[in-house]
Amino acid sequence: MSRYAVNSLLYRLKKEPDFRERFTVDPAAALAGLDLTEPERSAFIARDMRKINELGGYLHLVMSIPGLAAH
């Protein structure tokens, strides 16, 4: 598990609208090739904020991503 990978992805989802749109449309494709563990990948695909936080995602980032917290 990598807190860095989780938080880097959260930051990217927050700051890159094009990437966030790709993630919204097809999360598995958007995450393909990223250095994530299977639990990390599954949590993002499920948009499981609690699990993302448990895996090391900073709650502030999780809550600040448009559309992620509301899912």
HEC letters along the chain: CCHHHHHHHHHHHHHCHHHHHHHHHCHHHHHCCCCCCHHHHHHHHHCCHHHHHHCCCCHHHHHHCCCCCCC
- The confidence score (pLDDT) of residue 67 equals 78
Q: Enter the pTM of the model.
A: 0.88
* 25 within a domain of the structure (yes/no): yes
* 70 within a domain of the structure (yes/no): no
* 23 within a domain of the structure (yes/no): yes
* 69 within a domain of the structure (yes/no): no
- The confidence score (pLDDT) of residue 69 equals 62
- The confidence score (pLDDT) of residue 1 equals 54
Q: How many structural domains are present in the chain?
A: 1
Contact 6/52 with Cβ under 8 angstroms? yes
List, for residues 8-61, the tens digit of each pLDDT value.
999 999 999 999 999 999 999 999 999 999 999 999 999 998 999 999 999 888
Full residue range of the structural domain in which residue 59 is found: 3-64
Q: Which residue has the higher pLDDT, 27 or 2?
A: 27
